[in-house]
Structure 1
Amino acid sequence: MSQKRKKGEKVETFDYKAYKGDDVRWALDALFHGKCAYCETRYASSMPMDVEHYRPKGAVSEDRPHGGYWWLSSDWHNLLPSCADCNRKRGQVIVEYSDNLEALALNSKPILSQAGKKNSFPVAGVRATAELTDFSGEAALLLDPCRDNPAVSLRFNLDPLHPAGLLLPNGDDTQRQRGATSIQVYGLNRLKLVQDRTRLLRRLEFLAYLVIELASSIQALEDPPTVLKLKDTPGENVASKLKLLRDSTLVEMKSYAADDAPYSAMAAAWLRSFTERIRQSA
């Protein structure tokens, strides 16, 4: 635990090693399909994975005397794979609900805000100390991807009039507080991340337009208003090909919500919204 020291006095720190093992890294990478546990970005193509401690091992930003949850430094249930931007605190351009993404991206002098978890672990209750393993009294304000359902406290903005893909707090007051805290601490609305999610939503909207147009063409071919339908007519052959194309497009859309796809939680939310749109228009 922390203690007072004289100016210039060297402080010995514990060298944490077990959690850095290749076997741990490989297992976490496989468990989360090569994606950051917080933002769902595929990190492998751009940078190494950070092995992140949900409860920080060596210090707590919000409680300097605490000294960190050192007894959980190698606890499997406290380890998560993370991208550098979610795990390391640094200057980021953070997108707000009313921002224009293009204007933010073109701004030669963007306003940077500190984002990234590092040693942050805010709680609303009493912080656990002294090797305790019962954390029910802490009331952690950060969402744990392995124990919490993020959809309870977070929702994606699918409205094209505002930054699409922006994460917003959701639920009751407690859930919204946890959602807002997680968005801020993990930096889940940093510019590059929101831009990536926006591009995915635009692809999904295009595929949705394609599916709707294909369905309309199929209906027109299968139900001509005045022409007597004959078996194996050219129109029926075209309709069959269009059905295959429609079904293939739907399969492609659903693949964006697969566990190993980046931003799959947002894609799943969009697919539910799209299904509801189709149901209401039927």
Structure 2
Amino acid sequence: MRRVDRKAIACPGSLSSSDSEAARERSEARAHYERTPPPKAAYKFGAYKAEDVRTALTALFHGKCAYCEGFYRGTQQMDVEHYRPKGKLSGAKHRGYWWLALSWENLLPSCTDCNRSRTQRLVSLAEDGSVRYIQNVAGKGSVFPIAGPSRAGSQLDDVDLEEPLLLDPTRDDPEDYFRWVVKHLQFPLVASAQEGTKEARRARVSIDVYGLNRDGLVGSRSMLIQQIALEISNIRALLESALELPEEKRARILGLANEQISQLKRHEHAKSVYSTLAASFIQQEMRKLRGEFSRVLDAIFQGNAQASEEA
């Protein structure tokens, strides 16, 4: 999960226009829920899935799931997900946040695995480092747990008084909540960054509900980590070769190493798959390289800094 500035993309016209399908649905939904006695069935919204909404969400998140950072384009259709569920709440007598069903601020792009609740195979690491698999229900569905007693029940209530336990990357910075555990290249797992805190609780609930350590997702992350590890191994080989040469003959090999170090940054870009995992792993491995090859790497980084100043 990666922090995203929702203001980077304007609210789609189909949601904001006063004569749109969304405006009609808002009016109908209000009348539906004001009936006496209250209706048993939820109003069926559809305008939130308009093409311009899908386009805007795809642009905002670079074609990635808001929760797991996996690409959904090319393999599945994006689920236009409601952060606060629109029709009902699992485990609570609540009609859902129907008045937010067409709110741009409540919509996120999701892959089907993060969004649809069902039994999934989840991965965890035991204290001894061994890998464990469990079958459990994961996927957000209509789940929306809160920490306190204050839950908005109608459009007259202030949702900002709630204390959501699920993270929203347009409201929260995931870096404050998550850390990456890459003890085995085959099993890169996301974990709570701050145990024993409110942040830790939100992190754990989000990991469990979104299924952020499900087997297939962990496997996809592993492929990326192994690719990055191979690139770093090539850099290490170049640095080892450079150390075997006299200083005056190192320039060409150090230049190649510098190019490959620069290429690593593409994995950290917001448009890249699992970019926060990549950034964490690269930083970890670069610290190791700096410890092993401080002399030659310091020369590279000093040269880069000087070039930046001159530019």
**Normalising by the residue count of structure 1, what TM-score does the alignment of the two structures yield?**
0.83
Q: 1:183 aligns with which of 195, 207, 218?
A: 207
| Deviating 4+ runs (over 4 angstroms) | 1-5
1:88 Cα deviation from its structure 2 partner: 0.3
Q: 1:129 aligns with which of 143, 146, 153?
A: 153
Instruction: Report the AA paired with residue 114 of structure 2.
Output: C
1:205 Cα deviation from its structure 2 partner: 1.7
1:252 Cα deviation from its structure 2 partner: 2.6
Tell me whether 1:263 sits opposite 2:274 in the alignment. yes
- Percent identity over the alignment? 38
**Alignment-derived partner of residue 94 in structure 2:** 66
Could you report, residue by residue, the CA deviation over 1:100-140 in whole angstroms, capped at 9, with x for unpaired residues?
Answer: 66x96xxxxxx531110010000011111211463332111
Indicate the SS of the match to 1:136. helix
Larger mean Cα displacement after TM superposition, 86-95 or 130-139: 130-139
Q: 2:187 aligns with which of 134, 147, 164?
A: 164
Q: 1:114 aligns with which of 137, 140, 144?
A: 137
Instruction: Report the AA paired with residue 277 of structure 1.
Output: K
Equivalent-residue separation in structure 2 for 1:57 and 1:257 (angstroms)? 34
Contact 1:257 1:264 in 2 (8 A): yes
Matches within 5 A, 1:38-57: 38-57=67-86
**Alignment-derived partner of residue 116 in structure 2:** 88
Q: 2:62 aligns with which of 33, 40, 45?
A: 33
Equivalent-residue separation in structure 2 for 1:43 and 1:17 (angstroms)? 21
Tell me whether 1:143 sits opposite 2:154 in the alignment. no
Instruction: Report the AA paired with residue 218 of structure 2.
Output: V
Matches within 5 A, 1:7-26: 11-26=40-55
Indicate the SS of the match to 2:63. coil
**Alignment-derived partner of residue 301 in structure 2:** none
Equivalent-residue separation in structure 1 for 2:158 and 2:283 (angstroms)? 37
Tell me whether 1:79 sits opposite 2:107 in the alignment. yes
Tell me whether 1:197 sits opposite 2:221 in the alignment. yes
Contact 2:42 2:95 in 1 (8 A): no
For residues 164 and 243 of structure 1, do their structure 2 counterparts lie closer, same or farther at Cα, with a shift above 3 Å needed? same
Indicate the SS of the match to 1:66. coil
Instruction: Report the AA paired with residue 122 of structure 2.
Output: I
Equivalent-residue separation in structure 2 for 1:134 and 1:273 (angstroms)? 42
For residues 202 and 133 of structure 1, do their structure 2 counterparts lie closer, same or farther at Cα, with a shift above 3 Å needed? farther
Equivalent-residue separation in structure 2 for 1:4 and 1:252 (angstroms)? 63
Structure with greater helix percent: 2
Indicate the SS of the match to 1:221. coil
Tell me whether 1:243 sits opposite 2:254 in the alignment. yes
Equivalent-residue separation in structure 2 for 1:62 and 1:3 (angstroms)? 24
Indicate the SS of the match to 2:268. coil
Instruction: Report the AA paired with residue 83 of structure 2.
Output: Y
For residues 241 and 11 of structure 1, do their structure 2 counterparts lie closer, same or farther at Cα, with a shift above 3 Å needed? same
Indicate the SS of the match to 1:46. coil
Contact 1:62 1:122 in 2 (8 A): no
1:257 Cα deviation from its structure 2 partner: 0.9
Indicate the SS of the match to 1:80. strand
Number of aligned positions between the proteins = 256
Could you report, residue by residue, the CA deviation over 1:184-210 in whole angstroms, capped at 9, with x for unpaired residues?
Answer: 000000001011112211222221121
Contact 2:42 2:88 in 1 (8 A): no
Equivalent-residue separation in structure 1 for 2:34 and 2:254 (angstroms)? 67
